[in-house]
Amino acid sequence: MTKSYRKYLKEILIDPETLQVRIAELGEELSRVYAESDNLLLICILKGGVMFLTDLTRHIDVPHEIDFMAASSYGKGIRSASGNVRIEMDTTAQIEGRDVLIVEDIIDSGYTLNFVMQTIKARSPKSLRLCTLLDKASRREVAIESDYVGFRIENKFVFGYGLDLDEKFRNLPFVGVVDEDALKSD
């Protein structure tokens, strides 16, 4: 892999300003939804959700805590709806009786989030909702709907703004489409 992301960028799908405007809108919406909540907890799914979480939290004016969970999936072709996803790092905050909002970068097949939601649900939160920055609905293999969606996108592999290309380029301020040909020529 070369040092510059430019080689792998086919096009910018969502530019920095569009991202920030939409995230501010989501933050305002969530501030209304949780206006009466006195125990709101945002759980960011690492690593991809981290940029989104840090920007989103600054637009939520209801007092809240943040926490983190890391999940990984493997054996892509042979996954079952609950299996083959693993919690690599768990939350530390109390979940029982709280208003919990899961903050994720992208829902693709849905396996990861389905597992995460089931895991959190089993800990008896007062309410449990999901907010994803990106939704690739056409790729869904398990039925999971996000309560709040930043952008619905087509079935293209994207990177930047938290999403990685081989673990890199999460720091880019935009969401870009990967040039598959450039990857093949590496």
Question: Among ligand IMP, Mg ion, none, what does residue 73 contact (CB within 5–8 Å per kind)?
Answer: ligand IMP
Site residues (vs ligand IMP, CB under 6 A): 48, 73, 105-113, 157-159, 163-164
Q: Is 147 part of the annotated catalytic residue set?
A: no
- Could you tell me how many helices (H) and strands (E) the chain has, helices first? 4, 9
The CB density around residue 76, as the number of other CB atoms within 10 Å, is 9
Does 162 bind Mg ion (CB under 5 A)? Our answer is no
Q: How do beta strands 40-46 and 158-159 pair?
A: unpaired
For residue 157, the surrounding DSSP H or E stretch is none
Question: Contact, 107 vs 74, CB < 8 A?
Answer: no
The nearer residue to ligand IMP, 31 or 174, going by C-beta atoms, is: 174
Question: Among Mg ion, ligand IMP, none, what does residue 13 contact (CB within 5–8 Å per kind)?
Answer: none
25-64 footprint of Mg ion as x/- string (CB under 5 A): -----------------------x----------------
The nearer residue to Mg ion, 57 or 109, going by C-beta atoms, is: 109
Q: Rounded CA gap, 132 and 144, in Å?
A: 12
The nearer residue to ligand IMP, 27 or 160, going by C-beta atoms, is: 160
* CA neighbor of 153 nearest in space, from 12, 30, 7: 12
| Catalytic sites, residue numbers | 108
